[in-house]
């Protein structure tokens, strides 16, 4: 089993880009990790890594080992998981990431029940509005909202992500309500800035599904949805929101929907994970638990 453990360490080094990062992820010292990599090279009789002061690069032999070795590791993990499944339950470290607002509102309240149900699972939860590279960050899965661009991920849909345009009643009293999508260009709009840049081209659909694309502008932009929500409630402009984010504000009247006879293109909320032949039982259990908790009608859509 030493060689399998050394192979797993080698793959982790390639994924994380350094021996020290791989060592930390496996609860090893950097010195022990270096010794084990040298042992693997010595046992195989080939050099696997080119080491420089700043970077590590796999040799041709290292790339060949990674390509075939990763499949072997996943096969072994799947086999051991299958053998344990009949008489055991989900266990081990589960690393999950999602956006800060969604995680605080909908993931965090579910964690106590998940841990009561699966006491052998150790949870590590990362809340970030950046779309982390799951492999490089050592994450088992992510809950992602919106369009999925990474074809190297396996996804399971958890819920629809209905979106609306909204602002405060005070904003409408001062500036009037837009009557058509094109009117948005003359209004103060609050813009989300993400990995794809400044999201200033808003797509709006009428009742027949015809699409209008409006270029909007405004004096406030942010990469954090909470900033835009606070600004909209304060009367600073119109913003694009997922219903899960502002459903309580809509119910309470702090925000009102703009262009209610129109709609924004729907997206979805997915659980995503790196491609692998076998999915660990703890990952499957968490995804099933989230799907069960959201149900056919997710909590933010109930009573809206």
Question: What one-character-per-residue DSSP string does 9-65 give?
Answer: HHHHHHHHSSHHHHHHHTT--HHHHHHHHHHHHHHHTS--EEE-SS-EEE-HHHHHH
| Residues 123 and 242 occupy one common structural domain | no
pLDDT tens, position by position, 59-88 = 888 888 888 887 777 777 766 665 665 457
Helix (H/G/I), strand (E/B), else coil: 259: coil
Q: pLDDT per residue over 10-19, tens digit each?
A: 888 888 888 8
How is residue 183 written in tokens? 């009117």
The pLDDT assigned to 86 comes to 46
DSSP string computed for 135-203: TTTT-SEEEEES----TTEEEEEEEEE-EEEEE-HHHHHHH---SSGGGGGGSEEEEEEETTEE--EEE
Please state, in angstroms and rounded to a whole number, the distance separating the CA atoms of residues 116 and 85. Answer: 19
Residues 77, 118, single domain; the answer is no
pLDDT value of residue 127: 92
Residue 117 has pLDDT above 90, yes or no: yes
The reported pTM is 0.70
Question: Residue 104's domain spans which residues?
Answer: 92-157+268-301
Task: Quickly count: other Cβ atoms within 10 Å of residue 233's Cβ.
Answer: 19
Task: Mark whether 228 and 297 lie in a shared domain.
Answer: no
Q: What CATH code is carried by the domain that includes residue 109?
A: 3.40.190.10
pLDDT digits (tens, 9 = 90+) for 278-297: 688 899 999 999 999 998 88
Task: Please compute the mean of the pLDDT values over residues 158-170 and round it to a whole number.
Answer: 95
- In a shared domain, residues 181 and 151: no
Do 251 and 218 reside in the same domain of the chain?
yes
- Letter string b/e over residues 63-98, b meaning 16 or more CB atoms within 10 A of that residue's CB: eebbeebbeebbeebbeebeeeeeeeebbeebbbbb
Average pLDDT in the 217-239 region? 94
Strands 92-98 and 121-127: parallel
Give the count of domains, the chain.
3
172 and 258 in one domain?
Answer: yes
H or E, element range at 117: helix 111-117
- Specify whether 46 is located in the same domain as 105: no
146 and 169 within one domain: no
169 CB neighbour count, 10 Å cutoff: 12
Would you call 101 helix, strand, or coil by DSSP? helix
204 or 196: which carries more pLDDT confidence?
Answer: 204
pLDDT class of 276 with cuts at 50, 70, 90? low
Cβ pair 290, 158 in contact under 8 A = yes
- Both 63 and 40 in one domain: the answer is yes
CATH number, domain containing residue 53: 1.10.10.10
């Amino acid at each position: 089993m030493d060689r399998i453990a050394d192979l797993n360490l080698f793959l982790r080094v390639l994924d994380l880009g350094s021996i020290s990062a791989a060592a930390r992820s496996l609860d090893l010292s950097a010195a022990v990790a270096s010794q084990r990599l040298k042992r693997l090279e010595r046992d195989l009789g080939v050099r696997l890594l080119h080491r420089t002061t700043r970077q590590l690069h796999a040799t041709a032999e290292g790339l060949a080992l990674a390509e075939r070795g990763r499949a072997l590791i996943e096969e072994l993990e799947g086999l051991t998981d299958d053998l344990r499944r009949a008489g055991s339950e989900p266990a081990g470290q589960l690393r999950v990431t999602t956006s800060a607002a969604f995680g605080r509102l909908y993931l965090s309240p579910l964690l106590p029940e998940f841990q009561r149900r699966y006491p052998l699972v150790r949870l590590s939860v990362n809340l970030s509005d950046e779309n982390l590279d799951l492999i490089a960050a050592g994450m088992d899965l992510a809950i992602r909202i919106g369009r999925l661009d990474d074809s190297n991920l396996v996804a399971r849909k958890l819920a629809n992500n209905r979106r609306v345009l909204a602002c405060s009643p005070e904003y409408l009293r001062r500036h009037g309500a837009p009557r058509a999508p094109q009117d948005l260009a003359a209004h103060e709009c609050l813009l989300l800035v993400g990995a794809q840049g400044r999201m200033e081209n808003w797509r709006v659909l009428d009742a027949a599904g015809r699409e209008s694309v409006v270029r909007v502008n405004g004096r406030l932009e942010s990469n954090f949805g909470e900033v835009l929500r606070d600004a909209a409630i304060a009367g600073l402009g119109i913003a694009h929101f997922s219903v899960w984010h502002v459903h309580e504000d809509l119910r309470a009247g702090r925000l009102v929907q703009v262009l209610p006879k129109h709609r924004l293109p729907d997206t979805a909320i997915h659980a995503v994970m790196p491609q692998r032949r076998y999915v660990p039982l703890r990952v499957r259990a968490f995804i099933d638990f989230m799907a069960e908790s959201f149900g056919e009608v997710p909590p933010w859509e109930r009573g809206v």
